[in-house]
Structure 1
Amino acid sequence: MQRFVQLALDFLAGPDPVAVPPAVAPDGPPAEPLHKVFAPSGWHHPRANRMVRLAGCEVAYEFTRGKRRTIGLSVGTEGLSVRAPRWTPVGEVEAFLHEKAGWVLDKLRASRERAGALERARTVWADGAEFDFLGQRVRLTLDSAHASVQAGAALEPGDAEGVATLRLGLAKNASEAQIRDAAQAWLMRQAQLVFAESLQRFAPQLGVSYKKLCLSSAGTRWGSASADGTIRLNWRLVHLKPEMIDYVVVHELSHLRHMDHSPQFWDVVASVMPDHHERRKALRKSAVPLGE
């Protein structure tokens, strides 16, 4: 009997499924040279309760059973999680893991690399800290003289190196929490304006209308759309270049036409954004810490 298996990739900025590369046969040579599926000596999920050796690499994974019809593999920042129907033998689960060893190890490696990039991108909130705003580098400057300025913050044009300055109306001895809260409040206000402009620009082109824009702080997704016309966008998108923001906006607005990722859905996306594949790839590679 043909086995149907769902593979879901739970990356932090993954708004939709991705294709699974060719599998590695359990008793034969890999579909690709193993050096292309590099992994360190082992991968260990913090809630691991089973271990398997894939292509000579130990992978400790979280295994759960539930009311489902397929085996599901999920690779996130913690490692590999496997979900299976209650009736599926463990041997069948492990055979499937061997079949998909190349995919699993590749995604574990990519997840670890992404986690490192996110860690390097985290902002230490202090005078002189830097972060991205609409893809441009911005440097924080604490200046209590700007406390009277509207919203206590003012953005100044970029210097010779293209780095703009955001002056916050805070004293030099402000705490990290105070600086973070003030900077993020400013970023969220800008996000509201930028997202609203993008929604108003693309909704008519797509032949849809949305009811409400909500800012999200979700830790695993950039946006979502509800059947009632509510669009939720992660405010941290404002760190990214406008073309990436526009992609997420078009993606979510297109869900008001098709609440799935069918070919018809992607046709709607492509109708106003023919380069959406490239934008999606760029979004997946972005190093913006969610939930910071």
Structure 2
Amino acid sequence: MQGLLQFTMDLFEGLGSEFAPPAPSPAAPRRAKKPKLVAPPAVPAAPPTLVEPYDKDAPPAIPLAETLTLANFAHPQATRQVVLGTARVAYEFKRGKRKTIGFLVGAEGLSVRAPRWVALRDVDAAIQEKADWILRKLTETQQRHARVEATRIEWKNGAQFPFMGEPVVIQLDPKHGFASVGGTLDAAEGDGPRTLRLAVAQNAEPSQIRDAAQAWLMRQARRLFIERLDHFAPRLGVSWQKLSLSNAATRWGSASADGSIRLNWRLIHFGLPVIDYVVAHELAHLRVMDHSHRFWETVESVVPDYDLLRQKLKDEAVPRWS
């Protein structure tokens, strides 16, 4: 196809006669007995058109009126787009040294990778074949992002976030130094949230309050993680050597054959059962360094309901710290 694609939408469709252009006033008669001469009604102008450049690599165009009802998923580095069911998906497309077409749905959207020799029509066919999976993952990711955005914390006196699955409210308390711990978590009173008193000035900047809260949480996380590692390691018959705290955006933990364990400090937002699942998961890798059936049997031996906890880890939104 060459040239430009034109999309036309009738702006006058369904409008009443009162919106029609008025006819010119009738001409005055020269003699009383002669019939009046009336000018013919004006012809409405042609509806405007929306013109978009045609991209030979783009999928077939669809009427503009239909695009208004489609869900939109757009990758910020999108170079191609496709309509899948009731959604328009703009995706990042790259070629490289690989043998198969690959799909990745992440926080930014859909990325497609293809070998250099694969024709675009074959890429389009592969996308259509994976349409249900792609739309499900994009929807899940979008919903998860919305939940995370809803948990964004406004860092000030009275800010709230979850600690080990329970809500905690920040109270700025500059009169107390709290020694080297930076803050104190008060005992629970009634059904309300517990109070975390931080040694921060009342006029502190939001970033100062955030950093103080994060430092306190990381100390709690390290203490708890060591306790749970020591609990599960003997039961799994393994020995861990070193614990590091990570701040990864999408990874909760990792394990190395030398016994090094990395755990995301933000796990401290979850309840203890979820934390135990992640700890046991990483320790199990010291016995089985893959995700084979034998690996999951190893996890199940110490965390029987690991599958439910694994799903909870995926579904629950933790506070967004940036």
Q: Could you state the TM-score of these two structures normalised by the residue count of structure 1?
A: 0.84
CA distance 1:289–1:71, change in 2 (3 Å): farther
SS in 2 for 1:96: helix
Q: Please, which of 71, 88, 98 is the counterpart of residue 58 of structure 1?
A: 88
Deviation at 1:69, TM superposition (A): 2.1
- Whole-angstrom distance in 2 between the partners of 1:40 and 1:136: 39
Stretches of structure 1 lacking an aligned partner (at least 5 in a row):
1-38
Q: Which of 287, 295, 299 lines up with 1:257 in the alignment? A: 287
Q: What do the CA deviations read for 1:5-50 (whole angstroms, capped 9, x no partner)? A: xxxxxxxxxxxxxxxxxxxxxxxxxxxxxxxxxx952211000011
Cα distance change on mapping 1:76 and 1:40 into 2, 3 Å: farther
Query: Is 1:112 matched with 2:149?
Result: no
Of 222, 225, 228, 1:192 maps to 222
Matched AA of 2:124: E
User: Quick one: distance in 1 between partners of 2:235 and 2:112?
Assistant: 41
Gapped runs of 5+ residues in structure 2? 1-68
Match of 2:264?
234
SS in 2 for 1:145: coil
Correspondent of 1:143 among 162, 173, 182: 173
Higher relative helix content: 1
- Structure 1 contact 218–290 (Cα < 8 Å) conserved: no
Aligned counterparts, 1:91-170, within 5 A: 91-170=121-200
Q: CA deviation at 1:225?
A: 0.8
What is residue 208 of structure 1 aligned with on the other side?
238
- Any idea what SS the aligned residue of 2:100 has? coil
Partner SS, residue 151 of structure 1: coil
Structure 1's 107 and 114: CA in aligned 2 closer, same or farther, altered over 3 A?
same
Name the aligned partner's letter for residue 45 of structure 1: H
Q: 1:234 is aligned with what amino acid?
A: N
Q: Give the one of 84, 93, 103 matched to 1:73.
A: 103
Matched, 1:44 2:74: yes
Partner of 1:64, secondary structure, is strand
Match of 1:219 in 2: 249
Task: Report the Cα offset of residue 286 of structure 1.
Answer: 1.3
Asked whether the equivalents of residues 138 and 163 of structure 1 are also in contact (C-alpha less than 8 Å), the reply is: yes
Identity among equivalent positions (%) equals: 54
**Letter of the 1:119 counterpart:** E
Corresponding pairs, count: 254
